[in-house]
Amino acid sequence: MTDAGAPTRGARSMTAPLREVLVHRPDPAFGAAFDNPAHGFRHPVDLAVAHAEHDAYTDLLAELGVRVHRLVVRTTDPDLVYTFDPALMTDAGAVLLRPGKTNRQAEPRIVRDWLKGAGIPIVGRIGPRATIEGGDVVWLRPDLVCVGISLRTNAEGARQLAAIIDAEVRVFDLPYWRGHAELVHLLSVISPITDNLAVVYPPLLPVGLWTLLGELKIKTIAVPDEEFPTLGCNVLVVRPGVVVMAEGNPVTRRALESAGCKVHTYPATEVGLNGSGGPTCMAFPLRRG
């Protein structure tokens, strides 16, 4: 891992080569997350295991050529490890989002301070009455963004984002599913892999988004029911043909390999399954392309 030097910026894609990311290693707040049921963790956290898993993940990214920057800060927020959610990167700079989960509301300020220190401008922010989390925002094309309306992202958040970024924004309702206990973000049900391929979980995919994928001639790999809880639908593209996913999803892995992808995996019992965050969630993309 490295965090030396100032990063460059620009990430209007989920599939262009990933150059630089910002991560936050699990800290004592993550270790204590199960103590508060509102955090939604499934069992008491083994922080040593969480550290080992996060280190394996960031080491893997570094080995694959990604420059990894570390956000070093202590808070009472266990979810800061999922750095994808509090902001959105554009070519001009970062947009500060507004998480809908109460304990995450300070995260945009924390990320803002790091970005400013790194010389990355803030080009917009989501204001009052709006909520929107990065997990509900998907670049489908450099000029096309999909936003999911969920328990953490509302219509006003989508409207404000559309007014900030220079791209078409399509909005889709996500299902309530099992409520806050098993929250569904848009990135819970779709991961773009290339310009013409995406991994999806059809039972929870909005029909309008399914239709859009067809119109854009984007083929899909369907994640089986048994691999949805193990983050099979959350796939991080490092560069064309090279992806990272959580261990324990052999059917989805084989389908990706059959589609020509080189698949790398990492252990994800604590930071992944317990905290419900996959490889995309744990890295804020500072630069792609």
Q: What are the tens digits of pLDDT across the range 137-185?
A: 999 999 999 999 999 999 999 999 999 999 999 999 999 998 887 889 9
> Of 96, 90, 127, which is closest to residue 110 (Cα–Cα)?
96
As a three-state string, the secondary structure of the chain is CCCCCCCCCECCCCCCCEEEEEECCCCHHHHCHHHCHHHCCCCCCCHHHHHHHHHHHHHHHHHCCCEEEECCCCCCCHHHHCCCCCEEECCCCEEECECCCHHHCCHHHHHHHHHHHCCCCEEEECCCCCCECHHHEEEEECCEEEEEECCCCCHHHHHHHHHHCCCEEEEEECCCCCHHHHCCCHHHCEEEEECCEEEECHHHCCHHHHHHHHHCCCEEEECCHHHCCCCCCCCEEEECCEEEEECCCHHHHHHHHHCCCEEEEECCHHHHHHCCCCCCCCCEEEEEC
Q: What are the tens digits of pLDDT across the range 109-127?
A: 999 999 999 999 999 999 9
Would you say 165 and 144 are in contact if contact means Cβ atoms under 8 Å apart? no
> Of 277, 197, 185, 198, which is closest to residue 230 (Cα–Cα)?
277
The whole model's pTM is what? 0.94
The yes or no reply on domain 18-187+270-288 and CATH 3.75.10.10 is yes
pLDDT tens digits in sequence order for the chain, 289 residues long: 445 455 656 789 999 999 999 999 999 999 999 999 988 899 999 999 999 999 999 999 999 999 999 999 999 999 999 999 999 999 899 999 999 999 999 999 999 999 999 999 999 999 999 999 999 999 999 999 999 999 999 999 999 999 999 999 999 999 999 888 788 999 999 999 999 999 999 999 999 999 999 999 999 999 999 999 999 999 999 999 999 999 999 999 999 999 999 999 999 999 999 999 999 999 999 999 9
Give me the residues paired with residue 285 across strands: 21
